[in-house]
Amino acid sequence: MTNLNNRYEYVKAFEQPDVLLPNTWIVVRIDGRGFHKLTDRYNFKKPNDRRALDLMNAAAVEVMKDLPDLCIAYGVSDEYSFVFHPSCQLFERRSAKLVTTIVSTFTAHYVYLWGTYFPDSPLEPPYLPSFDGRAVMYPATRNLRDYMSWRQVDCHINNLYNTTFWTMVQQGGMSNTDAEQELKGTVSSDKNEILFKRFGINYNNEEEIYKKGSVLYRQYQLEDIKPKSEPNPGVLAEEEGNYVQEAKTSRSQQDKLRKLRRKAQVVVDHVDIIKDEFWERRPWILSGKPGKLPTEA
Amino acid sequence: MTNLNNRYEYVKAFEQPDVLLPNTWIVVRIDGRGFHKLTDRYNFKKPNDRRALDLMNAAAVEVMKDLPDLCIAYGVSDEYSFVFHPSCQLFERRSAKLVTTIVSTFTAHYVYLWGTYFPDSPLEPPYLPSFDGRAVMYPATRNLRDYMSWRQVDCHINNLYNTTFWTMVQQGGMSNTDAEQELKGTVSSDKNEILFKRFGINYNNEEEIYKKGSVLYRQYQLEDIKPKSEPNPGVLAEEEGNYVQEAKTSRSQQDKLRKLRRKAQVVVDHVDIIKDEFWERRPWILSGKPGKLPTEA
Amino acid sequence: MTNLNNRYEYVKAFEQPDVLLPNTWIVVRIDGRGFHKLTDRYNFKKPNDRRALDLMNAAAVEVMKDLPDLCIAYGVSDEYSFVFHPSCQLFERRSAKLVTTIVSTFTAHYVYLWGTYFPDSPLEPPYLPSFDGRAVMYPATRNLRDYMSWRQVDCHINNLYNTTFWTMVQQGGMSNTDAEQELKGTVSSDKNEILFKRFGINYNNEEEIYKKGSVLYRQYQLEDIKPKSEPNPGVLAEEEGNYVQEAKTSRSQQDKLRKLRRKAQVVVDHVDIIKDEFWERRPWILSGKPGKLPTEA
Amino acid sequence: MTNLNNRYEYVKAFEQPDVLLPNTWIVVRIDGRGFHKLTDRYNFKKPNDRRALDLMNAAAVEVMKDLPDLCIAYGVSDEYSFVFHPSCQLFERRSAKLVTTIVSTFTAHYVYLWGTYFPDSPLEPPYLPSFDGRAVMYPATRNLRDYMSWRQVDCHINNLYNTTFWTMVQQGGMSNTDAEQELKGTVSSDKNEILFKRFGINYNNEEEIYKKGSVLYRQYQLEDIKPKSEPNPGVLAEEEGNYVQEAKTSRSQQDKLRKLRRKAQVVVDHVDIIKDEFWERRPWILSGKPGKLPTEA
């Protein structure tokens, strides 16, 4: 029988490698599949359903805990972006393995926790939530920062639109079509004005989770912001780009880092990640090196 | 604010295409992540836990129903292979999209149905089941058939080993190490003999689901097997390889096929898929064209 | 110093594999870079320069001789397509290696032979001819045949257009713009009529090399065409798709085949490769197995 | 006939994209194919043939002139590495196109110039020189610098070995096997000693082109080295990683840069590229921005 197996085993040669380029940031973004239909069936509240967002965040926290190699995650609506550091060697950086592990772990917790967040709307198969995902590489830290900014700007744009649209419909009694029509071509200030003048709503007072989305990271002691020195383009940052070598020489070092990261608490924040401040006070996110654990008073 | 978004939107350029080669079979194989630990924690029975296999099959059936483009699936232990036809155009054949959709849908149903199959062992986070997956292309039908045979031969080899090993341990009172030691280097006939002579077990009488694994497909009227004519290697099969063109000219045709496939029942079978008979009596699996629905008496 | 080298050697980890899928046809197509400028500088004749085509063919013959794994090649204008069989294991099927080897070998012979075909127009650097190239995989023989047909149909369409255009300009005294304008929207029969009625040219009498392009293959004894039997879609062709396995078990077998192929003469033909006849009389091209060497009378 | 073409045109769908990740350094390395045989046939001198190296460099200079997007090249023995800047958008960064263009252009000039450097050893087909090549991406400047260092360290190691080996054979009258045997396991200092004590050769006095290889770049005014400021890892270099955006907004800007680069002279240097000095005095190489053209006295 072993012979038989050998006879067929050649099919393994068709598997093609999908290792991601070393020393690049890896962003795994997952998106809800057909969530429009899902939000209808389970009566999600418009424009934002707090239970749904809390459920997304709870599932994402579990993913962060399960995979200490993740250094930050950002969620908005039914999407979530998980970020691996350039030094990450998890699963030898195989793309499909990284993406499916995150998608599956997220889905498992999302389904498992559903009843906690939607006690009155039990899941009804075949209408179960599911997610697709993909991995994208970003070579420079600037590119990663810009990716994160892109998602948060997108969050803002969509939330301002949705808040205005659903206020016009729900409080203003307009039809969906009319509201859509009126909003066509408007800019941010127009929408702010509609909200304020017609409905007395100051958009700035909306909840931060809706306006900023959710940022997940491991909590260490915040650092003070140092005055910036002049950057010298001719000088190479010492630490940059030697991850490959390090990874090879000290796998045990990687395990140590993982253990340290597991000790840190994963926090859910709703803050600006476009400006430098967030990143400068939490240097461990971009450096990939754990900070000091917060001391108890 | 739109300007801001545009400023960051360039990061989309880092997304790289992952479209699979047209006119190839696509096999998406998923595997349980760390199921060793899971089977311990939830006390799966050895060598086979019928509830666990039934749960795998139930989740796989839901995946088949959700994705009518799938033409066959094969499951054994904590792995499942899902097969798309060379003519498949689902998600423009994007690899990550196909794989993550299957992994996530499977996981969702597996977690959701857990309580039905393991009523006495509720899931305990963070120990939730999850799966990873990957897509592999097979150019020729012969390659696909050999892939399926490979998995079924593997099922046989592992099950014979596990059945013998656990019988030696559970009924023979041997330690794991001793049993492992004795089985080292044995061939099939040796294991059959151990089972029969020492424990009076005829391996052939073991349940088919354990010996053959599980085959899922859509049920149509079985066809008679025609006598084989001499193949003429010089003649090209008419239908072969024109899927790309067809796909482009008739997307509505694809939707029709999907509807037809949804009408067929997905069955779970435990039969030989190595020999020709299985395939010749069910030509719709390899042809990608729905057969005749079974008529009621 | 060895230490120094080790310190930098990690950069090899950035090399990514580019192995082409097993059991697929590989077409390497090369195209002249900026040949418009080149044809002007060296005064190529319009619409076809026989010397230039002969030079292309001579260089392609050398590529075929250098790489016995190639089973056929097709050239038209400044492009050439070289075809590797699905069973080909050359350079472990690494894409860049296959493509650059062909491009470089072709370029070397093209430059070396230039003086033979253009004795009166020596090359003047930096205006040297160069070619780019790429590899494409075709899973089914039908796809490969259709690729070859596509190129030959393209040859016909372009040659009919160019022949008509340049006859109108050169013999009819029209300006380029006027000729282009008149040909806009015309079909084949229109162009045939212009040639025949205005200039007494019967397109069918044009040289075959211009109308059909050039087909290169190894010459064995032609085979008779057998009457076609009914194809039975249920039956798998025996030989199909086992190349991977074969390749692994018998590398020496591959070397034998290479030697046999080196013995055959590479011929340049200008014939129809769209219809079945060409392929049925030369079964060795698609089978990948050398035929019988022609016997001398 | 157009219909016929359409019928086959579907085969274009099999072409798969091969665009390299934006904002990464691209190194195209080419290697002589079977140069061992070639050096025998045309009697290259051992351990180094100055004519052969000069020919390599001459061909590489032509490649640099032909492709102003290249910012540096490094050659040793029968290999050459050509480097594109992370901001490079040439051929939309398609890998095959970039690699084959360089391989073909290099080959064309190498064959064309052969007679100039080897007037007494004309090329004899089919023994023509050819090269294969591949593209590798390096995300960080540190990685690119390390790649260049790796090649130059390799050059040193090989040249010291070859110089010692061939001196032992040519001047010491040893057999190849004996020399090889004695050198096994020796370190640099051993080889230096053999050269000096037995043959009175001071390795340091060997020609720089043999010891350091050849560096090609565009010549601008050298810059003074500034004292290094403390690098601040928290601060992102302003210019880093925005190339994608720039590229999209200003294609004309790219054309301007190309013209500026064409004006600069390509020089062939034999200097240390491992230490910082080379790069700091020629900041245009890593910045991708042309420097000041040297002023004439």
Residue D294's pLDDT is 83
- pLDDT band with cut points at 50, 70 and 90 for residue B3: low
Mean of per-residue pLDDT scores for chain A = 92
In the chain, the amino acid numbered C103 is: V
Rounded CA gap, D245 and D132, in Å? Answer: 33
Which residue is closest to C153 within chain D, CA to CA?
D5
Token couple for D283: 């900041």
In tens, the pLDDT along C169-223 reads 999 999 999 999 999 999 999 999 999 999 999 999 999 999 999 999 999 999 9
Residue D101's pLDDT is 98
In tens, the pLDDT along D98-148 reads 999 999 999 999 999 999 999 999 999 999 999 999 999 999 999 999 999
**Structure pTM?**
0.94
**pLDDT > 50? residue D34:** yes
The answer to whether residues C80 and C106 touch, using CB atoms and an 8 Å cutoff, is: yes
The average pLDDT across B168-174 equals 97
Residue A225's pLDDT is 83
Query: Does C131 count as an annotated binding residue?
Result: no
Q: Which of A59, A138, A148 is nearest to A102 (CA)?
A: A59
- pLDDT band with cut points at 50, 70 and 90 for residue A251: confident
For residue D168, being part of any structural domain is answered with: no
C233 to B241: CB separation less than 8 angstroms, yes or no? no
- pLDDT band with cut points at 50, 70 and 90 for residue B233: very low
Query: Does C151 count as an annotated binding residue?
Result: no
A97: domain CATH number is 3.30.70.3000
In the chain, the amino acid numbered B60 is: A
By residue range, what is the domain housing residue A29?
17-156+208-225+258-285
Cα torsion A241, A242, A248, A250: sign: negative
Residues from chain A contacting residue D88 (CB–CB below 8 Å): none
The average pLDDT across A259-267 equals 94
Mean of per-residue pLDDT scores for chain B = 92
Residue D37's pLDDT is 95
Cα–Cα separations (whole angstroms), residue A172 to A186, A198, C112, D133 = 18, 8, 80, 66
D141 interfaces chain A, CB cutoff of 8 Å: yes
**pLDDT > 60? residue A116:** yes
- pLDDT band with cut points at 50, 70 and 90 for residue A297: very low
**pLDDT > 80? residue C31:** yes
A135 to B1: CB separation less than 8 angstroms, yes or no? no
- pLDDT band with cut points at 50, 70 and 90 for residue C139: very high
Residue A250's pLDDT is 67
For residue B113, being part of any structural domain is answered with: yes
Nearest beta carbon to residue D150 from set C1, C8, C187? C8
For residue A135, being part of any structural domain is answered with: yes
**pLDDT > 70? residue D194:** yes
**pLDDT > 60? residue B231:** no
Pairing of strands C70-76, C214-219: antiparallel
CA A44 to chain CA mean position, Å: 21
Which site among A6, A245, A246, A248 would you substitute to test the C interface, given the most C Cβ atoms closer than 10 Å to its Cβ? A245
Token couple for C62: 């050398």
The neighbours of chain D, by the rule of 3 or more Cβ pairs under 8 Å, are A, B, C
**pLDDT > 80? residue A185:** yes
Cα–Cα separations (whole angstroms), residue D31 to A230, C102, C294, D99, D130 = 42, 14, 39, 12, 8
DSSP state of B243: H
Query: Does A34 count as an annotated binding residue?
Result: yes
- pLDDT band with cut points at 50, 70 and 90 for residue D234: very low
Query: Does A106 count as an annotated binding residue?
Result: no
Rounded CA gap, D31 and C206, in Å? Answer: 44
The average pLDDT across C109-122 equals 98
Q: Which of D108, D59, D64, D96 is nearest to D79 (CA)?
A: D59
Of A137-146, A207-216, B156-165, C2-11, the poorest mean pLDDT is in: C2-11
The number of CA neighbours under 13 Å toward the Cβ of A169 is 16
Residues from chain A contacting residue C245 (CB–CB below 8 Å): 7, 10
For residue B129, being part of any structural domain is answered with: yes
Which residue is closest to B281 within chain C, CA to CA?
C234
Question: Beta strands of D9-159 (E only): which ranges?
Answer: 25-32, 70-76, 79-84, 131-138
A142 to D236: CB separation less than 8 angstroms, yes or no? yes
Three-state secondary structure along chain A?
CHHHHHHHHHHHHHCCCCECCCCCEEEEEEEECCHHHHHHHCCCCCCCCHHHHHHHHHHHHHHHHHCCCEEEEEEECCEEEEEECCCCCHHHHEHHHHHHHHHHHHHHHHHHHHHHHCCCCCCECCECCCEEEEEEEECCHHHHHHHHHHHHHHHHHHHHHHHHHHHHHHCCCCCHHHHHHHHCCCCHHHHHHHHHHHHCCCHHHCCHHHHHCEEEEEECCCCCCCCCCCCCCCCCCCCCCCHHHHHHHCHHHHHHHHHHHHHCEEEEECCCCCCHHHHHHCHHHHHCCCCCCCCCC
Residue D245's pLDDT is 53
Residue D232's pLDDT is 43
D4 interfaces chain B, CB cutoff of 8 Å: no
Residue D59's pLDDT is 98
Residues 179-218 on C with a CB inside 8 Å of B are: none
Residue D238's pLDDT is 44
For residue D51, being part of any structural domain is answered with: yes
From C216's Cα to the closest Cα of chain D, the distance in A is 18
For residue A8, being part of any structural domain is answered with: no
C9 interfaces chain B, CB cutoff of 8 Å: no
The average pLDDT across C144-161 equals 98
D17 interfaces chain B, CB cutoff of 8 Å: yes
**pLDDT > 80? residue D230:** no
Which residue is closest to A6 within chain C, CA to CA?
C245
Residue D91's pLDDT is 98
Please, where are the H alpha helices in chain B? 2-9, 35-41, 50-66, 95-117, 141-170, 176-183, 188-193, 199, 208-212, 243-249, 251-263, 276-281, 283-287
Residue A242's pLDDT is 52
Q: Number of folded domains in chain A?
A: 1
D101 to C132: CB separation less than 8 angstroms, yes or no? yes
A85 interfaces chain D, CB cutoff of 8 Å: no
**pLDDT > 50? residue A1:** no
The average pLDDT across C135-146 equals 98
Residue B239's pLDDT is 46
Residues 91-130 on D with a CB inside 8 Å of A are: none
B141 to C236: CB separation less than 8 angstroms, yes or no? yes
In tens, the pLDDT along B132-143 reads 999 999 999 999
**pLDDT > 80? residue B244:** no
The average pLDDT across A112-138 equals 97
Interface predicted TM-score of the whole assembly (ipTM), two decimals: 0.94
For residue B203, being part of any structural domain is answered with: no
Residue C136's pLDDT is 98
Bridge partner residues of A73 (DSSP)? A82, A216
Query: Does A85 count as an annotated binding residue?
Result: no
For residue C24, being part of any structural domain is answered with: yes
- For the beta carbon of residue B171, count every other beta carbon within 10 angstroms: 13
Nearest beta carbon to residue B10 from set D10, D21, D248? D248
Residues from chain D contacting residue A140 (CB–CB below 8 Å): 23, 139-140, 240-241
Residue B241's pLDDT is 54
Residues 229-248 on D with a CB inside 8 Å of A are: 229-242
